[in-house]
Chains A and B, each alone.
Chain A
């Protein structure tokens, strides 16, 4: 499986994302500068964390109208997997590919620590390797991770089972304790916690690895025929 890590000016978790896929998952990955991307060559797109365009205007807003975005929309429409982490999640929200928006953290502080999460939904191409209701721990690092949506949208997210992860101890004020959601079709996951920073027991935590393994498992199920 071949992944593209899209690099925007100001991305800073792109190397970690690349490392998680190429070194730990041991699949192909390329870091692709946003202006030069040709997404036809890839099976999965990773939108990394960071501060694209310095978070000018709103987090993810400027990247969400940049050159590569038309291709990302086509990629999503084709049903291929797109994972957006932290700033990548913010970009997907600003694109309107995921519902809702991000606000400043309730306490106006940048939060950088591990958070306990509940895996709410395992029937997705991103979470099939987890147990439903399982508690995992992943690092968060954000100033604007306070997920906001109105009651009607929250209800719809619940009905469609689009809530993938929730916080056990809501650190930022997120509506419904939401830490990560998928789109309706289930091929886009946006999440504030950083799975790519938790892929090796050697570094203290590998709870994030199963997201990448789930994507790979799904891709193999669809594309690799074993005779």
Chain B
């Protein structure tokens, strides 16, 4: 079995109004060094086996989990014994 951590974010070119508001709030709390905040989604997917996990996950992301028009995704795979 393996556990896949998937991170989905809006593409750089896409405005993230939630991120902008959060960024402003952090500045209001006097975290002056905050340059930008981007929001996103985190998904955990458990797969029965590790074999071809990369291909399966990329397929899932391209077909459903992420929308390639507006979103990018990255993922990490943890083997679970």
The total of chain B residues at the interface (CB under 8 A) is 13
Query: Contact: B18 with A100, CB < 8 Å?
Result: no
Asked whether A104 is an interface residue with its Cβ less than 8 Å from the other chain, the reply is yes
Could you tell me if A149 and B69 are in contact, using CB atoms closer than 8 angstroms? yes
Among the stretches B9-17, B29-37, B44-52, B73-81, the one at the interface with A is B9-17
Interface residues of A in 139-176 (CB under 8 A from B): 148-150, 173
Distance of A226 Cα from B81 Cα, bound (Å): 73
- Does A57 sit within 8 A of B, measured CB to CB? yes
Q: How far is the CB of B3 from chain A (nearest CB, A)?
A: 19
What residue in chain B is nearest A93 (Cβ atoms)? B69
Contact in complex: B67, A104 (CB < 8 Å): no
Query: Across chains A and B, which 7 residue pairs bring their CB atoms closest together, nearest first?
Result: A101-B69, A101-B70, A101-B67, A108-B17, A65-B64, A148-B70, A58-B67
- Check B21 for interface membership: any CB of A closer than 8 A: yes
> B residues touching A (Cβ–Cβ < 8 Å)?
10, 13-15, 17-18, 21, 63-65, 67, 69-70
The distance from the CB of A89 to the nearest CB of chain B, in whole angstroms, is 14
Known: A61-B67, A101-B69, A108-B21. 17 other contacts (CB 8 A): A57-B65, A65-B63, A93-B69, A99-B69, A100-B69, A101-B67, A101-B70, A103-B10, A103-B14, A104-B17, A104-B18, A106-B17, A108-B17, A108-B18, A148-B70, A149-B69, A173-B15
Mask, A22-37, CB within 8 Å of B = 1, is: 0000000000000000
**How close is A86's CB to chain B, nearest CB, in angstroms?**
18
With a CB–CB cut-off of 8 A, which chain B residues contact A104? 17-18
Known: A148-B70, A149-B69. A103 touches B15 (CB 8 A): yes
A62: chain B residues within 8 A (beta carbon): 64
18 contacts between A and B (CB under 8 A): A57-B65, A58-B67, A61-B64, A62-B64, A65-B63, A65-B64, A93-B69, A94-B67, A100-B69, A101-B67, A101-B70, A103-B10, A103-B70, A106-B15, A106-B17, A107-B17, A108-B17, A148-B70
Kindly name the residue among B13, B15, B65 whose own CB sees the greatest number of chain A CB atoms within 10 A: B15
In angstroms, Cα B15 to Cα A107, docked, is 11
- Report A95-130 residues with CB < 8 Å from chain B CB: 99-101, 103-104, 106-108
Please measure, in the bound complex, the distance between the C-alpha atom of A103 and the C-alpha atom of B69, giving whole angstroms: 11
Sorting the interface of chain A by its residue count into under 10, 10 to 19, 20 to 34 or 35 or more gives 10 to 19
Point out the residues of chain B lying under 8 angstroms from A57, CB to CB: 64-65
Nearest CB on B from A99, distance (A): 8
Q: Tell me the smallest distance from the CB of A198 to a CB of chain B, in Å.
A: 29
Nearest CB in chain A to that of B64: its residue = A65
Question: Bound state CA distance, A108 and B39, in angstroms?
Answer: 14
